[in-house]
C-alpha cells in the first residue's frame, strides 16, 4: 500500500509540474523576453501576433521549397550563342501559381476596372483601355485567325485557357491588383473592414490599396469610416477606454505578402522540379524537362506515347495527327490538361511561354551574386507631402505614361501612394546599393566600370559609334500638344547594334508555337516589356516569409 501511495504522489507531482510548464509556455509568448513587459496587454502597449504559426498558402498557388541548383544548364545548344552559362544559384522558398493566369482570371480583373473606373467617363477611359489584352496578336497575314481574335479572350469556351496578348507591364499591374484584392478579403474575414465593401462602397474615389492601408489606413476607401470601422470585430480599448488596434498592420500577420512575377531563377528552379532526383544532399541524374526522362512522350503503361506538353512537334505539326498521337491542342490548351511537375505546377513546359520579372542580359552575373539572383531592381519610396503625410493619388492626379509602341497606361491609380526614386537619404555611404535604377548594373558597359564618371559625355566624338554596350533603337513616340494626336517616328539609324535595352524582359518556357528545343526550362529569350504576342502568358509568385520549409523548420536527418 505504501508503494501505491508513493506512486500516486509521484503522478500528482508530475501532473502539477506539467500544468505549470504548460502555463509558462502559453504565457511566455505574451511577455517580452528582453524586458519582461507584457505584449498584447489589454490596457495597451505593444501589440503583436504572438500566435502566428505559419504563412498560409496564397490562393491559387503551390509551395516551392527553396534550394540550390544549376541555372542555365541547357541540354542542347546548337547555336552556341552563349545565351546560357551554367551558374550555381540558391533560391529562397516561395509560392507559385499552379497554372498560368487564365482568360477568366483576367476578365475578372477587367470587370473590376470597368466597374470602378467606368471607361465611358473620359477621366478613366485610358485606365480600362490600358489593361485590355491585345487580341490582334492572333492575326497572321497568310492565315485565317479571326475566330481567335474575336473569341479567344471572352468566349466561355476559352475560359480556362491561358490569357495571351498581355504585355509584361500589364502582367505586373494584374499582380498588383491581385495583391490588393486578396488583402482586402483577408481584412474583411478578420473583421477589420466592412463585409462586401467591394460591392457596395467602392468607386474611383473610394478604393482599397494594400500599401495605403499599411501607411495611411484612415485614407483607405477615401477615408470612409463606415467601411474602415464596420467590420464584425470586437473593438479593443486601453485602460482609459480609448480604442486601440483599430487597423491591422504588418505585425498582425493578416496582410498577405504581395503577388508579383517570379524571377527568372525562381521560374527555372520551379519548372525543373529537381526534388524527384534528390538523394540525401545531392541530385542524382539530369533533367531536360519538368518531367523525368529525356523524352516528350509518356513512358507509363497507362498512357504510353501520349505527349506530355503542348508544343509544335514539327513543321506544320502543331497538334499531331488527329487521334492517338494528337497532343490535344493546336493553339493553347486548357490549363491542367497535362500532368503537373513534382511541385504541383502545370504547363511549366509548352502551352504558353511566360513572362518573368528580369531585365534581359545575355549573361547571368553569378560572380557578383548567387543568392536570389534578379536583374531589374529599381528602388523607390513613398512620396511625402509637406506636412509629412504620404501622398495619395487622387482622381485629378492620375499620371499616364506613353509607351514606346504608343499605348498609354496609368502609372498609379487613385487611392494608391505616389512613388518617387530613392535619393541620397537612402544611398549615402551605403555599400550594398548606390542608386535607384540598377537594371544595367555590371552588364559590361562603361557606366558599370570603375572608371566611369558622371561627367562622361557619351555624345562626344564619333556619333556613329557608342560607348554603351547595348545600342538599341530609340523610336520617338509623343503626343502632339496642338491636336492631341500621337506622333510616331521610327529610329532609322544605321548604327544600331542591338535590340537589348533596359525595357526588354525575359520570358521562359516553350509555347504552342515552339519546337521541343524551347521547352527546356533553362532556355531563355527576351521581348519588349510593352509589347505582347499570342504565345506569351504569365503566372504569379509570392515570397515565403518565416521558415524555409512548411514543417516549421524542424531539424531533419
Reference 427, options 418, 438, 419, 417; nearest CA is 438
Reference 109, options 209, 204, 211, 180; nearest CA is 180
Tell me, what's the pLDDT at 356?
A: 98
C-alpha cell at 473: 533603337
Higher pLDDT, 461 or 323: 323
Question: Average pLDDT of 404-422?
Answer: 92
pLDDT by residue (tens digit) across 45-72?
888 999 898 999 999 999 999 999 999 8
Question: Average pLDDT of 139-160?
Answer: 96
Which CA distances in Å does 186 have to 115, 180, 191?
22, 10, 9
Question: Average pLDDT of 10-25?
Answer: 52
Question: Average pLDDT of 187-198?
Answer: 92
Q: Give the containing element (helix H, strand E) for 135.
A: none
3-state SS string for 485-511: CEEEECCCCCCCCCCCCCCEEEEECCC
Which CA distances in Å does 27 have to 31, 32, 35, 39, 43?
7, 10, 15, 10, 17
Q: Which range, of 113-117, 296-300, 544-548, averages the lowest pLDDT?
A: 296-300
pLDDT of 455 higher than 50: no
Tell me, what's the pLDDT at 449?
A: 57
pLDDT bracket for residue 234 (50, 70, 90)? confident
pLDDT of 412 higher than 80: yes
Higher pLDDT, 337 or 296: 337
Question: Average pLDDT of 82-109?
Answer: 94
The pTM of the full predicted model, rounded to 2 decimals, is: 0.89
pLDDT of 556 higher than 60: no
pLDDT of 466 higher than 70: no
CA separation for the pair 537, 533 (Å, rounded): 8
Tell me, what's the pLDDT at 299?
A: 63
Tell me, what's the pLDDT at 395?
A: 92
Residue position matching grid coordinates 491581385: 178
* Structural domains of the chain, with CATH: 61-190+254-376+507-543 (3.90.1580.10), 440-501 (no CATH)
Which CA distances in Å does 22 have to 36, 216, 276, 552?
18, 40, 40, 20
pLDDT bracket for residue 15 (50, 70, 90)? low
CA separation for the pair 135, 78 (Å, rounded): 34
pLDDT by residue (tens digit) across 239-255?
787 888 889 999 999 99
Tell me, what's the pLDDT at 22?
A: 47
Q: Which range, of 410-424, 444-458, 495-509, averages the lowest pLDDT?
A: 444-458
Question: Average pLDDT of 31-55?
Answer: 89
Mean pLDDT (the chain, rounded): 85
Tell me, what's the pLDDT at 282?
A: 57
Look at residue 98 and give its three-state secondary structure.
coil
pLDDT by residue (tens digit) across 504-546?
999 999 999 999 889 999 999 999 999 999 999 999 999 999 9
Q: Give the containing element (helix H, strand E) for 260.
A: strand 259-260
Reference 377, options 389, 390, 388, 368; nearest CA is 368
Amino acid at each position: 500500500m505504501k508503494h501505491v501511495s508513493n506512486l500516486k504522489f509521484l503522478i500528482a507531482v508530475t501532473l502539477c509540474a506539467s500544468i505549470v510548464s504548460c502555463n509558462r509556455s502559453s504565457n511566455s509568448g505574451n511577455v517580452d523576453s528582453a524586458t519582461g513587459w507584457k505584449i498584447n496587454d489589454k490596457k495597451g502597449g505593444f501589440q503583436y501576433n504572438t500566435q502566428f504559426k505559419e504563412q498560409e498558402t496564397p490562393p491559387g498557388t503551390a509551395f516551392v521549397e527553396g534550394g540550390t541548383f544549376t541555372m542555365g544548364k541547357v541540354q542542347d545548344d546548337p547555336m552556341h550563342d552563349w545565351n546560357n552559362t551554367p551558374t550555381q544559384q540558391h533560391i529562397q522558398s516561395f509560392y507559385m501559381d499552379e497554372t498560368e493566369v487564365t482568360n477568366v482570371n483576367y476578365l475578372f480583373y477587367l470587370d473590376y476596372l470597368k466597374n470602378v473606373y467606368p471607361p465611358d467617363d473620359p477621366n478613366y477611359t485610358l485606365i480600362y483601355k490600358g489593361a485590355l489584352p491585345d487580341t490582334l496578336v492572333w492575326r497572321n497575314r497568310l492565315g485565317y485567325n479571326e475566330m481567335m481574335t474575336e473569341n479567344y479572350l471572352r468566349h466561355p469556351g476559352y475560359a480556362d485557357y491561358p490569357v495571351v496578348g498581355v504585355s509584361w507591364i500589364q502582367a505586373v499591374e494584374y499582380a498588383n491588383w491581385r495583391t490588393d484584392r486578396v488583402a482586402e478579403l483577408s481584412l474583411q474575414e478578420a473583421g477589420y473592414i466592412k463585409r462586401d465593401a467591394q460591392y457596395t462602397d467602392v468607386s474611383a474615389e473610394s478604393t482599397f490599396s494594400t500599401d495605403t492601408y499599411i501607411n495611411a489606413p484612415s485614407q483607405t476607401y477615401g477615408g470612409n469610416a463606415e467601411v474602415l470601422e464596420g467590420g464584425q470585430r470586437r473593438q479593443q480599448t486601453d485602460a482609459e477606454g480609448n480604442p486601440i488596434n483599430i487597423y491591422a498592420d504588418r505585425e498582425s500577420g493578416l496582410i498577405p505578402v504581395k503577388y508579383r512575377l517570379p524571377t527568372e531563377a525562381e521560374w527555372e528552379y520551379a519548372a525543373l522540379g529537381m526534388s524527384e532526383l534528390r538523394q540525401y544532399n545531392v541530385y542524382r541524374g539530369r533533367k531536360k524537362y519538368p518531367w523525368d526522362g529525356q523524352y516528350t512522350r509518356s513512358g507509363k503503361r497507362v498512357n504510353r506515347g501520349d505527349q506530355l506538353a503542348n508544343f509544335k512537334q514539327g513543321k506544320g505539326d502543331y497538334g499531331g495527327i488527329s487521334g492517338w498521337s494528337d497532343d490535344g491542342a493546336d493553339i493553347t490548351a486548357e490549363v491542367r490538361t497535362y500532368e503537373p511537375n513534382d511541385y504541383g505546377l502545370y504547363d511549366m513546359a509548352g502551352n504558353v511561354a511566360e513572362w518573368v520579372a528580369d531585365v534581359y542580359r545575355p549573361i547571368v552575373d553569378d560572380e557578383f551574386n548567387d543568392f536570389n539572383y534578379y536583374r531589374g531592381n529599381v528602388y523607390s519610396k513613398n512620396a511625402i507631402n509637406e506636412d509629412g503625410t504620404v501622398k495619395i493619388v487622387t482622381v485629378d492626379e492620375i499620371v499616364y505614361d506613353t509607351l514606346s509602341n504608343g499605348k498609354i497606361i496609368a502609372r498609379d491609380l487613385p487611392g494608391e501612394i505616389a512613388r518617387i526614386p530613392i535619393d541620397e537619404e537612402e544611398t549615402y555611404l551605403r555599400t550594398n546599393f548606390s542608386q535607384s535604377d540598377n537594371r544595367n548594373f555590371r552588364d559590361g558597359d562603361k557606366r558599370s566600370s570603375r572608371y566611369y564618371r558622371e561627367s562622361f559625355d557619351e555624345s562626344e566624338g564619333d556619333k556613329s559609334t557608342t560607348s554603351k554596350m547595348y545600342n538599341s533603337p530609340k523610336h520617338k513616340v509623343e503626343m502632339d500638344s496642338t491636336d492631341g494626336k500621337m506622333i510616331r517616328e521610327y529610329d532609322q539609324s544605321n548604327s544600331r547594334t542591338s535590340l537589348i535595352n533596359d525595357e526588354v524582359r525575359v520570358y521562359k518556357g516553350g509555347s504552342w508555337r515552339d519546337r521541343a528545343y524551347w521547352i527546356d526550362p533553362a532556355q531563355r529569350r527576351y521581348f519588349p516589356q510593352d509589347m505582347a504576342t499570342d504565345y506569351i502568358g504569365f503566372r504569379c509568385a509570392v515570397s515565403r516569409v518565416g521558415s524555409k520549409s512548411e514543417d516549421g523548420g524542424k531539424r531533419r536527418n
